[in-house]
Every structure is written in structure tokens, then in C-alpha cells.
Amino acid sequence: MGNHDRGKDPSGETLLKQIRVLQQKYCAWDLKIFNNQLNILSARPCSSGGGYFLSNEVKAVYGPINEQESINKILKSSEKVIKEFPLLFMAHAGPSGLGSDPNSICGRDWKEPSCDWGDRDLAVAISEIQKKKKIDLVIFGHMHNRLKRNKGFRKMFKVDKEGTVYLNSAVVPRYKTNSKGELFVNFSWVEFVENKLTHVSHRWYSESGEIDEEEIFL
């Protein structure tokens, strides 16, 4: 869940209602085994990027968790990873350390000077986990692909020195229509073959499920 999902409700009750509705599909500071073939490790919920910040809504639900405690919660969840399955990290905001330019995958573009707007706790957790396990993919959003003040487009894909792939899925707006009025929706698409990440792209689908456009990263 992202920063817009937490609700403007310092009591945390709005956030709790959403968590109750999602039930087992809710994933925050946790590990889910998807379809008995994929590890999905989740980061701090409702993040808005910018290093480390815990909103009043999240504090009301989880308590005043500091940065190191957040790191520890992620690392604790990673201990349950099944080694035979690929490991995906899912977060709303991406990690820090991936660039500080306006068009960097987690760079601040709406205010000058530009800076790295990634989450520090996520970055530290990734670095620690990489010492023991391979992280195949880190997928997130928050930082929109279209930069503010008509400065172009963001870099949405990156690979670090450990071979971990980072994908920003925040193609905004998510829907568009062509000159004929036909509707298309954007999805981030990844494929694994024999536990190896083989394809990463952004795709525009028609309402009938056909691929209209595709930007292939891997």
C-alpha cells in the first residue's frame, strides 16, 4: 500500500479498515509465498519516499517504529525465504542509492535541487539480504514516469552490481485512449523461466487483452 492508501485519518482506523478487507492479500513487513513458486518480500507500508518517514496513520496501527526497527522487520521476514524460489521485493517507494538526478529511478523531480528520494530502510535491508541471498527483482512505484515541469521521462529500469533488477511501475496515467476512443491500460510485466528472470517490460493492453505497445527492458 502507498502513501495515498493510508487515509487522512491520524487514528489509523481508515488504514485498518483497508487491511481488514485485504486480509491475507495484505503484505507489509512480511513474506508471502505466491502460488508455491515465488517469494514476495514486502517493505514498509504507505511510504512516500524521502529517506525515512512514518506517517501518523502508520504509527497509529504499528506504533512509533524507527528506521532500524523497520530494517530489522524486513530482515526478520527475509529469514522465511524459500531458497529454491525466485525472490521479489515489493514496495511503494523504491530504495535509496539508485541516483539523485531528476530522472533517476527514484530521483526527486518536483523540487530543486534534485535528490535521491528513495527509502533508506529498504536500501539497507536489500544490501544485507544480498550478502546471503540473491534478490531477483525489486518492484515499486511512487515516482511517476513523466517528470514535472516538462523535463521528459524517468529511467524506469536499473540493474545493480549484484545483478538485482529494479523496476519502477509508476506509469501515470495508467489508462489512455487512442484517436478512435479505444481504451488501453498499462501493466508492468515480468516473466520467469526455470526460476530465472527472463523478461521485464511495460505493456499497454487493449480491453480485449491484446498488446498494443511494449517497452522491453530485459
The one-letter code for the residue type at 194 is E
Give the end of a domain, one of 156, 171, 186.
171
**pLDDT average per 10 residues of sequence, the chain (218 residues):** 91 95 93 95 96 96 97 97 96 98 97 96 98 97 94 96 98 94 97 96 97 97
What dihedral do alpha carbons 93, 96, 98, 103 form, nearest 10°?
60
Tally of domains within the chain:
2
Phi, psi of 17 (to 5 degrees): -60, -40
pLDDT of 213 reads 95
pLDDT on residue 150: 86
By residue range, what is the domain housing residue 98? 3-171
CA distance 9 to 153: 33
pTM for the structure as a whole: 0.95
Are both 159 and 177 inside the same structural domain?
no
pLDDT of 149 reads 84
- Note whether 105 and 205 are same-domain residues: no
